[in-house]
Amino acid sequence: MIQVSRACCPPPLHRPSSLPIDLRAALAVVIVAITVLRLAGLERLPVWHDEAHSLVRVLGYDNADLQRLSDGALLTPADLLRLQQPDAERGWPDTLHALAEHPEHAPLYYLLGHLSTRLPLDPVVALRGTAAVFGLLLPLAACWLMRELFGRGAVPWVAALLLAVSPMHLLYAQEARQYALWTVLLLAASAALLRALRRGQSRDWWLYGLLLTLGLYSHLLFIALLPVHALYGWLAGRAPLPVNRPGNRPGNRPENRPEKRQALAWVLAVATALLLFSPWLAVLLSALDSAAGHTQWMERAVGTQRILLAWAQHGVRAFVDPVPQAQAPAALLWLWLPLGIALAHSLWRAPLPQRWFLPLLALAGLGPVLGPDLLLGGSRSLHVRYGLPAILGLQLMVAWSLGTAITRAAGGRSGMGPADPAGAVAQTRGVPGLVPGLVLVLVLGLGLWSQARILLADTWWTKQFSAQNREIARLANAQPRPLVVASPSGITTGELLSLAHDLDARVRIRIQSGADQPLPASERDAIVLLLPGAEVRDALPPGYTVEPVAGTWQWFLAQPSADSPPIRPPGAPVAPSPGARLP
């Protein structure tokens, strides 16, 4: 039995008393009501490239099934959507085989998704609903972690509220991918570690090991959390005892702290988790070249300025996200001024050793994403989904600053250190004391406003390069004899599967394998093209010109008149540059 002294993880210097039960009940109702929005409109936003591939693998279709689409035959949307619907003859072995072909994606979410698609639901709704269930748990996990860090009081509730109204977490809770599961397990495993350090009971360490195992199976980047936990445990074990305890002087440390037993407990939990994860690790190592090929697009250099601007937008969009375009309004970046103040307040005034945990959590998200982009070149930072731990760290530090400010304004103790003199507390009461509460209300209002816009929107920036596919489908559907033609490429099948969800049954689709295949079009038909290569352009009827569809880099329109301007789908943004921009 592993026993760890609770002295190795000192509690906050002051643990505020819990909020009144009526206020806690009211907050719980508000949080539940807001988080239930994650279950609303799961079918609304378009199915984008990655989600389409998620369905393919969850339902047990493999690369060979996708390859059959490229034999040059004319296809219907139903031919493509067959790979988005369950097949009674395909079961668990087929799903495992399909997942093993893409071992860069840990399998837990997809296996759970396989179960959900067996329910009498639309497969898209079922798979997105699986993510939404974990999105419902995210505020609860945040509340647990902040309570383990800073005790009872306003801080855990503010953390739960901020994550409940966050537009970014709403978006990823409604996406058929593993990110909602990953974020929940990041917070839950961290809270379980703090609980095990505080109580030192063997069952707490078993729970921590279990959550680590589930976390590793949720996302490969979960492994970046392990050094964070190790470093925090080491720092917490060497933290001086609080100076306000009787008989302690600044800098004193107890002689009986069982640091070796603490380290052994952690090592055993991590070793058990890694051992249980080893089967999938073996799959990954056996197909390392394939995994590297599927992630090679991340190595495309985009420039330091664009990387830093992307992170600036990610941080703001965690709190307010009013527009569906990938480029957020420049005015939103001014919100970094209050965010910076809140972060500085947390880094300077939060109690030790708890002060270190949330910045370390943020680094667990920044390090594997921003580090390679700056040092080696890459485009990982453009996709916030890979850096969600950094977003969580930012939001929780802001929650601590707001929660402690509200507590102090109410005349309570906030875990920041020795109690304020009566005069200092008195200065926070009255009108100045309303400021933290008003700031919280403003932040919650901006988040709810953003969520309302998302729930009413036809598309959003998290759909990446597929964000305009619904408009492209409308453009194709409007043609007299609609035809969609694609050249073989790394994104062809995913984009066509995404498009097929919104195409009319009369649309015909072809992946052109050679110029010797004539296109079934008359001179008055416009043809929608996906990354047309030489084999497609050579097969076009005489007199056709090819122009890019504004607002996209992969879609083009072939028209019979050389004088025809590019056709722009209604509502599509103007393309930032005429050059093609790969994902």
Which domain covers residue 554, as residue numbers? 468-559
| Residue that finishes a domain, picked among 428, 461, 494 | 461
Same domain, 371 and 440: yes
Same domain, 419 and 444: yes
Peptide bond into 246 cis (omega under 30): no
Same domain, 156 and 189: yes
Cα 504 from Cα 497, distance rounded (Å): 13
Task: Report the domain count for the chain.
Answer: 2
pLDDT digits (tens, 9 = 90+) for 559-583: 886 554 455 554 544 444 333 333 3
Residues 6+ apart with CB under 8 A from 500: 77, 80, 81, 84, 509
- Count of other CB atoms within 10 angstroms of residue 329: 12
Residue 17 counted as domain residue:
yes
Residue 185 counted as domain residue:
yes
Same domain, 212 and 301: yes
Same domain, 429 and 320: yes
Per-range mean pLDDT, top range of 140-144, 295-299, 353-357: 140-144
Statement: residue 296 has pLDDT above 80: yes
The pLDDT of residue 249 is 45
Residue 269 counted as domain residue:
yes
| Residue that finishes a domain, picked among 427, 461, 495 | 461
Statement: residue 17 has pLDDT above 80: no
The pLDDT of residue 29 is 86
Average pLDDT of 185-191?
98
Same domain, 170 and 303: yes
- Which stretches of 417-530 are assigned E, i.e. beta strand? 483-486, 508-511, 527-530
Residue 63 counted as domain residue:
no
Nearest alpha-carbon partner for 215 in 280, 166, 265, 302: 280
Same domain, 370 and 457: yes
Residue 82 counted as domain residue:
no
Question: Global pTM?
Answer: 0.88
Cα 444 from Cα 402, distance rounded (Å): 12
The pLDDT of residue 563 is 56
Cα 167 from Cα 189, distance rounded (Å): 23
The pLDDT of residue 435 is 85
Same domain, 438 and 476: no
Nearest alpha-carbon partner for 375 in 289, 292, 299, 296: 299
Model confidence band, residue 27 (pLDDT cutoffs 50, 70, 90): confident
Statement: residue 247 has pLDDT above 80: no
| Residue that finishes a domain, picked among 461, 483, 509 | 461
- Count of other CB atoms within 10 angstroms of residue 316: 20
Cα 231 from Cα 393, distance rounded (Å): 16
Same domain, 215 and 176: yes
Q: Reduced to 3 states, what is the DSSP secondary structure of residue 511?
A: strand
Cα 514 from Cα 535, distance rounded (Å): 5
Residue 521 counted as domain residue:
yes
Separation in Å, CA 434 to CA 162, 400, 425, 427, 437? 19, 17, 13, 12, 5
Nearest alpha-carbon partner for 357 in 516, 507, 197, 514: 197
CB 390 within 8 A of CB 365: yes
Average pLDDT of 495-507?
97
Same domain, 353 and 297: yes
CB 553 within 8 A of CB 326: no
Same domain, 356 and 487: no
Same domain, 233 and 364: yes
Model confidence band, residue 522 (pLDDT cutoffs 50, 70, 90): low
Average pLDDT of 353-367?
94
Cα 290 from Cα 268, distance rounded (Å): 32
Residue 256 counted as domain residue:
no
CB 83 within 8 A of CB 66: yes
* Pure H helices in 151-221: 154-165, 167-173, 179-199, 202-218
Cα 561 from Cα 488, distance rounded (Å): 26
pLDDT digits (tens, 9 = 90+) for 52-83: 999 999 999 999 999 999 888 899 999 999 99
Residue 181 counted as domain residue:
yes
**Which one is predicted more confidently, 200 or 414?**
200
